[in-house]
Structure 1
Amino acid sequence: MVSIVTPVFNSQKYISECISSVLDQTYKNWEHILVDDCSTDNSAHIIKGFAEKDNRIIYVKLSKNSGAGVARNKAIELAKGNYIAFLDSDDLWTPFKLEKQISFMKTNKHAFSYSDYYVINENFKTPLYLVKAPKKVDFKKMRRNDYIGCLTAIYDVSYFGKKYMPIIRKRQDWVLWLNLLKETDYAYCLNEPLAFYRIGNQSLSSSKFKLLKHNFNVYYIELGYSFVKSIYHIVVFLTFYFHYKLTSKKKIT
């Protein structure tokens, strides 16, 4: 079974699309754990409506607003699946996402995988562009830049055990990927777009450039590097980040 982790905060505009994309999966052996980070809109009502019709959809509410990392960790704690997959509340999957990616992992004995994905706008009429990810990444490569879209990542619990995100407000997914890659040689990409990343929602998404100080803290606090070494890696990060931005995006024609 695949346990799908979704943090939710004031996501009433998109949460139905998100859940529907899970319900549309051709791979049916899943549970969808949606953790409400104390939303003040209609998100809870919408999720509970889906949960009443399908017991694979699980609604959980945090006692206080704590951030996406805490919400994801709560879902991981409750997960019963052999695989952990991530899907934010404003994003969605293609119908064959789980079927293809789980098959890819089992066939090739990969413990950690990800895929290409489309970028869409708020209205999702047509994809804006395709993000092509590298075929595989190791710890060293991931330290230079976060190449794994959170909405595409899946890890094998039987290989790693349950692995949690650090309790930080930003970049917690990147730190989790780095920690996983300390325990396995590579994460492998199924080079096919299997998800849709939505830009424009400020509840979970913001300019990567604005996250520069959070990136520094990944090196300085989470990885325990010295101040000078952390500054060096920030410079390296910026070089690889902008190169990747220029080379990975394929305009949809």
Structure 2
Amino acid sequence: MKTPLVSVVIPTFDRTFFLKRAIESVYAQNYQHLEIIVVVDGESPASEKLIREIKEERIPITYIETKEKVGGSEARNIGARAAKGEYIALLDDDDEWFANKITAQMDLIANDKLSSQDDFLCFTSLKRYKEKSQPVYDKLPNVDYRKSKKKRIIDYLFETKGLRNIGFIQTSTVVVPKHILLETPFTKGLIKHQDWDWLLKLDKEHSLKIIQVEEPEIIYHSDVPKKDRVGYINRWRFTEEWMTRYKDEFSQLGYESFILNYILLGIASDHSLSKQQRYQEIKKRFDQLSFKTKMRPYTWKMIFYLLKEK
């Protein structure tokens, strides 16, 4: 049987230290039939020089510069359109794969008797750390997809159990058939929540089967300066606006958990507002929560955190 070609799409911009680490983790894969597509959002002579220096014959690299800035979402779309593989594996330039990552996913796909013509998403668990000195990495997701018994990605990502989010699907963990990304591309121009937005669109536009390699197969690094990582930038007003686009898709638990996790915490840490302004913004949204949510231990954990903010 022919071994399927997997195209690895890496969006980047002028972060050669991280890009080198990401590419080397692809080179280290024990799955051999790969190609790499590096898409620079703009122009980067340093990135081009790096690719010339580390290029290997065994795994070809296609290097693309967009010239004009298009954003990470469109950079991924450009990479998908250039891909020759039947499957696409997404890899952010600041993340790192373990050597068995693609093999584990392709084995699971084969075991589930899925093909590149089917509608599915395969993701892996991951390891992450908040500080590089942290002795043991945290594993995410907190609850594996199969054990969660959730049928929709939106419920899996945003509903909580006890004090923790249930699910977590991060871009660098994902493999999909190429046709999925061509039919449902990332939304161009989003300044935040690019991965969530794409996952929720997949849920709406496809009868998607979700499968998970439960063993962690990537390191979700935290050594990028926070100002350079989209996910760390506090844009709670944009987050709230984005959430309203999908409001009708959320379960009540998922919707109210989202408000607690991403809106109220964002307001609490927004020091462009006075403490009184933050209090008023938080109260306005807290008052909209159901009585059941207000009584949850998780809610009081959030309130305790908010009260601590200076």
CA distance in 2 between counterparts of 1:118 and 1:199 reads: 11
What amino acid does structure 1 have at the position aligned with 2:232?
Answer: S
CA distance in 2 between counterparts of 1:104 and 1:211 reads: 37
Per-residue deviation at 1:43? 2.1
1:130 correspondence with 2:139: yes
State whether residues 118 and 129 of structure 1, in contact with CA within 8 Å, keep that contact through their aligned partners in structure 2.
yes
Per-residue deviation at 1:39? 5.0
Per-residue deviation at 1:180? 1.6
What is the CA RMSD across the aligned residues, in angstroms? 3.3
| Structure having the higher Rg | 2
Per-residue deviation at 1:130? 2.2
Per-residue deviation at 1:214? 3.6
The SS at the match of 1:14 is helix
- Sort the Cα spacing of 1:134 and 1:233 in 2 relative to 1 into closer, same or farther, 3 A: closer
What amino acid does structure 2 have at the position aligned with 1:30?
Answer: L
Match of 2:105 in 1: 101
* Percent identity for Structure 1 against Structure 2: 22
Match of 2:12 in 1: 8
Per-residue deviation at 1:121? 6.5
CA distance in 1 between counterparts of 2:243 and 2:223 reads: 28
- Compute the TM-score of the two structures, normalised by the length of structure 1: 0.79
Cα displacement string for residues 102-134 of structure 1 (whole angstroms, at most 9, x for unaligned residues): 111221146211111111478699663222353
What amino acid does structure 2 have at the position aligned with 1:119?
Answer: R
Match of 1:213 in 2: 237
The SS at the match of 2:184 is coil
CA distance in 1 between counterparts of 2:181 and 2:57 reads: 33
**Structure 2 unaligned runs (5+)?**
115-119, 160-166, 266-297, 302-310
Per-residue deviation at 1:162? 4.3
Matches within 5 A, 1:1-253: 1-38=5-42, 40=44, 42-51=46-55, 53-54=57-58, 56-109=60-113, 111-120=120-129, 128-136=137-145, 137=150, 138-142=152-156, 144=158, 147-157=168-178, 162-167=183-188, 168-182=190-204, 183-201=206-224, 202=226, 203-207=228-232, 210-221=234-245, 223=246, 225=247, 235-239=256-260
Per-residue deviation at 1:12? 1.3
CA distance in 2 between counterparts of 1:158 and 1:67 reads: 22
Decide which moves more: 90-99 or 64-73.
64-73
Per-residue deviation at 1:220? 3.0
State whether residues 7 and 83 of structure 2, in contact with CA within 8 Å, keep that contact through their aligned partners in structure 1.
yes
- Compute the TM-score of the two structures, normalised by the length of structure 2: 0.66
The SS at the match of 2:143 is coil
Cα displacement string for residues 167-219 of structure 1 (whole angstroms, at most 9, x for unaligned residues): 112212111111222212542221100001111314334427x2433433333
Aligned residues: 239
Whose RCO is larger (CA < 8 A, sep 6+)? Answer: 1
State whether residues 3 and 85 of structure 1, in contact with CA within 8 Å, keep that contact through their aligned partners in structure 2.
yes
